[in-house]
Structure 1
Amino acid sequence: MTTTLSLVGIGSGNPDHLTLQAIKTLERADVILLPRKGAEKTALADLRRMIASELLKKTPNVVEFDYPVRDANTPKYHDGVNTWHDALAAIWQNLIATHVPPNGRLALMVWGDPSLYDSTLRIADRVIARGIDLAVEVIPGITSLQMLTAAHAIPLNTLGDPVLITTGRKLREDGWPSGVQTVAVMLDGECSFQHLAPEGLNIWWGGYVGMKQQILIDGPLAEASPKIIEARADARAKNGWIMDIYLLRKS
């Protein structure tokens, strides 16, 4: 009795980002799991609801569940994340047992793409480790990094040079990584570019990239930094949440 779990990338907030493959995969699912991430992020759940109810010719059974909150006070970051992922795996296991028919198909809509700073594949591995017979397939989606470079009309890399993709936490802890001209930063709630010496650095920043409320700021880091900090705080206060990403490049 194998359950097929389809992790479907849906892009970064614009329903036009869905591929035909994503739509067909969602339509043939028996159940779509839809996470609720608190009152301040209802827009994320609403987009998934709209996709299921309006864009699919056949709407599967949609099962909503509350997303557990990661304990940010855990002394060691990875310990907190592992505990959080264990809690999610337990929820998925229960939902599969309760709602998915034998040999059924389960789908989960993933913001952006499951391969880039997303935990769904790791959580699926934990479900399998719990003894659930799960066949996992990934349907790729447009990432926020792709949307950022498209919105600013810039290439991701300079000619022949590598790019490092990292998080705000690592940028704060380690500083500018050696050997690269370009750094893409995700999952940064603290504007970690403030911890870098701004001389010779340019930044391309985007909030809500791909969505109707998209905000874009770019320029030399010394000039753009205060503008980004202010715009980010204002947008978060207005909407209750923000997703942003930025690219830093040595000039």
Structure 2
Amino acid sequence: MRLRVIGIGPGGARQITLEAVDAIAGTDVFLFLDKGSRTSELTAVRQQMLDAHARPGHQVVAVPDPPRDRDPADYEAEVRRWHTARVDALDAAIDEFLPDGGTAAFLVWGDPALYDSTLRITDRLAERRSGLHVEVIPGVTSASSLTAAHGIVAHGVGEPVLTTTGRRLATTPDGADLNQIVMLDSALAFRETAHPDDTVYWGAYLGTEHEILMSGRVGDVAEEIASARSQARERLGWIMDIYLLQRAR
């Protein structure tokens, strides 16, 4: 039994690799964690990819995503509990829908190795199922899509780049804050942590028809970005965004 984790890029239906196309074509059952109507457009984009590249007769199985506390007292404990519930649900779906010797796959936004929990879930599935082989197909990252869309290099000559989350932005140590790519930041924490003279490059819905790009001095554009993000999320019901924060030289 084979289980594939296929990176499909940040949202554009054409931002998948030839390796991902081949992996999709060789899969019997596609497993989705269904998050309800608010992400129906994302589901539609994945379905477009399957319509274009999957083999005839493939099956799509939507598994209801277990509920999660978004503001828990113990964040790591809540994530562990949520992951366990996801593993249980997906394990049951594999039992029900995947034939012996078949191949199942998850389609993962961006790249499976960067701020995504799918590989942790497949590791636990492999612990439960002897003989389950997990195969990972890398994907275009939202970070590379962001810098490409803005036409920039993420760092100065020889400088490091730190990839972090909005939750951890305030704790970035001095010396690591020259260039920071920030993900999972619904609060746009840079408005509180960055110097007004720092530069921010922000993007949402990268690679899609809804793509929004904004950049500039933090003191000039921070609230414009916050307003654009709020309006876009209200209009579409979902948002995926990322930004690069560069310290003023």
Q: 1: distance between equivalents of 2:152 and 2:32?
A: 34
**Aligned ranges 1:83-122 → 2 under 5 Å:** 83-122=81-120
Which residue is equivalent to 1:127?
A: 125
Compute the displacement of 1:130 (Å).
Answer: 2.7
- Write out per-residue CA displacement over residues 163-182 of structure 1, whole angstroms, 9 at most, x where no aligned residue: 1000000114x1x4321310
Which residue is equivalent to 1:218?
A: 215
- Does residue 86 of structure 2 align to residue 67 of structure 1? no
SS in 2 for 1:224: helix
Q: 2: distance between equivalents of 1:19 and 1:136?
A: 19
Q: 1: distance between equivalents of 2:138 and 2:57?
A: 21
Which residue is equivalent to 1:186?
A: 183
Give the number of equivalent residue pairs: 247
- Write out per-residue CA displacement over residues 102-143 of structure 1, whole angstroms, 9 at most, x where no aligned residue: 122111100011011000000111212334532111111111
SS in 1 for 2:152: coil
- Does residue 195 of structure 2 align to residue 198 of structure 1? yes
Identity %: 40
| Residue type of the alignment partner of 2:61 | V
Q: Give the direction of change, closer, same or farther, for the CA distance of 1:183–1:73 in structure 2 (3 Å limit).
A: closer
- Write out per-residue CA displacement over residues 170-202 of structure 1, whole angstroms, 9 at most, x where no aligned residue: 114x1x432131000000011111221423310
Compute the displacement of 1:59 (Å).
Answer: 5.0
Which residue is equivalent to 2:240?
A: 243
Q: 1: distance between equivalents of 2:13 and 2:194?
A: 38
Compute the displacement of 1:219 (Å).
Answer: 0.4
Q: Give the direction of change, closer, same or farther, for the CA distance of 1:199–1:69 in structure 2 (3 Å limit).
A: same
- Write out per-residue CA displacement over residues 178-232 of structure 1, whole angstroms, 9 at most, x where no aligned residue: 2131000000011111221423310000011111100011000111101101100
**Aligned ranges 1:2-17 → 2 under 5 Å:** 3-17=1-15
8 Å CA contact 1:28–1:60 kept in 2: the answer is no
Give the aligned CA root-mean-square deviation in angstroms: 1.4
Which is worse superposed, 100-109 or 57-66?
Answer: 57-66
TM-score when normalising by structure 2: 0.95
Which residue is equivalent to 1:177?
A: 173
